[in-house]
């Protein structure tokens, strides 16, 4: 019997349906188990490994930073955090000028929901049916799936059919703080938004005084052929939630905000958010994405289905793009 598998089976409070394999190493788009078997990672680490596993630049950055400073809470300034914020805002969709750093996608969504409430003074939210935004109680309240066992959730959240402009228009009222949308629904079946719908969402939010929160946790960092799907659709969100591919596999998330979003000093925070180790990994990841033009490679290879030619890092990005756009 495999010792590692047996140990996890005995000790883990299980929340995942497991495959009967123990992964011990990765490189580019490839993985190896503890028996030496080689696999192509067609999940891209569940959307994380846009630049591939164990990218040399990320490995080097993490190693250097670990020897220098691993953690630094947000009550102090930090050089690596500042550098990452500058890079993040530099690649973010136009109009996003500030960043809150955290540890995961669901934390990014929790922050986005709280920031929307603080900014607008309202507590209503409109999300799409079949949408997925996270599993913590706030993010789950905006999620159409996985709700039943955990209700009652946070009140004020309502759901409308994806790509239905009329239903969305009727759902936004004077108490709506924000509309929350994935421009490509992930767990909802990899369903892209109709361009007319995406434009209507943006215009309705502006007309009704509601914020637009775009969940780019899965679509961000090159997967749709641009750095962010918001650029593909030409929308201007007030908040973009990102995570997954942001730091090459090191846990990190962020809420990228426009100047419209109110400061939240003393109202939100994260002990580990923006720690120098994760920031160093994210800097190296963003640089790799840009230097190798992986968004461009994703756009090119995504048009050709299974034509992946090139190095494993391009393959990892192309695999993820195909999953998102063509499944």
Q: According to DSSP H, which parts of the chain are helical?
A: 3-11, 44-47, 56-66, 79-91, 105-120, 137-141, 165-171, 195-208, 229-233, 276-291, 294-302, 312-326
d(C-alpha 26, C-alpha 52), whole Å:
8
Tokens at 119, concatenated: 């900014």
List for the chain the helix, strand, coil content (%; round to 5).
40, 15, 45
Cβ atoms of 225 and 77 within 8 Å: the answer is no
CB atoms within 10 A of CB 199: 15
- φ and ψ at 181, to 5 degrees? -145, 145
Cβ atoms of 93 and 224 within 8 Å: the answer is no
Q: Which of 323, 294, 322, 288 is nearest to 307 (CA)?
A: 322
d(C-alpha 296, C-alpha 312), whole Å:
15
| Helical axes 79-91 vs 276-291, angle rounded to 10° | 40
Residues in a beta bridge with 185: 191
d(C-alpha 216, C-alpha 8), whole Å:
32
| Residues forming the active site | 132, 215, 244
d(C-alpha 193, C-alpha 196), whole Å:
8
């Amino acid at each position: 019997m495999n010792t590692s598998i047996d140990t996890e089976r005995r000790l883990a409070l299980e929340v995942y349906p497991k495959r009967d394999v123990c992964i011990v190493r990765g490189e580019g788009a490839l993985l190896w188990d503890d028996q030496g078997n080689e696999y192509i990672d067609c999940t891209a680490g569940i959307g994380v490994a846009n630049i591939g596993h164990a990218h040399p630049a990320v490995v080097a950055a993490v190693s250097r930073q670990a020897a220098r400073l691993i953690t630094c809470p947000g009550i102090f300034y930090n050089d690596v955090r500042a550098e990452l914020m500058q890079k993040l805002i530099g690649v973010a969709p136009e109009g996003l000028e500030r960043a809150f750093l955290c540890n995961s996608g669901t934390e990014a969504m929790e922050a986005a929901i709280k920031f929307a409430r603080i900014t607008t003074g309202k507590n209503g939210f409109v999300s799409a049916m079949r949408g997925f935004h996270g599993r913590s109680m706030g993010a789950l309240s905006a999620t159409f799936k996985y709700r039943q066992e955990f209700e009652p959730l946070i009140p004020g959240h309502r759901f409308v059919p994806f790509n239905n402009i009329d239903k969305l228009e009727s759902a936004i009222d004077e108490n709506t703080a924000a509309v929350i949308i994935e421009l490509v629904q992930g767990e909802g079946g990899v369903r892209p938004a109709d361009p007319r719908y995406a434009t209507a969402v943006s215009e309705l939010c502006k007309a009704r005084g509601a914020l637009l929160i775009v969940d780019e946790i899965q679509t961000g960092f090159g997967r749709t052929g641009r750095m962010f799907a918001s650029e593909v659709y030409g929308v201007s969100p007030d908040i973009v939630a990102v995570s997954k591919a942001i730091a090459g596999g090191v846990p990190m998330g962020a809420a990228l905000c426009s100047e419209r979003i109110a400061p939240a000093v003393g109202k939100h925070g994260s002990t580990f958010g923006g720690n120098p180790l994760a920031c160093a990994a994210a800097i190296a990841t963003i640089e790799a994405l840009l230097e190798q033009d992986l968004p461009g490679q994703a756009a090119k290879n995504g048009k050709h289905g299974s034509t992946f030619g090139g190095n494993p890092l391009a393959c990892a990005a192309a695999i993820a793009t195909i999953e998102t756009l063509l499944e």
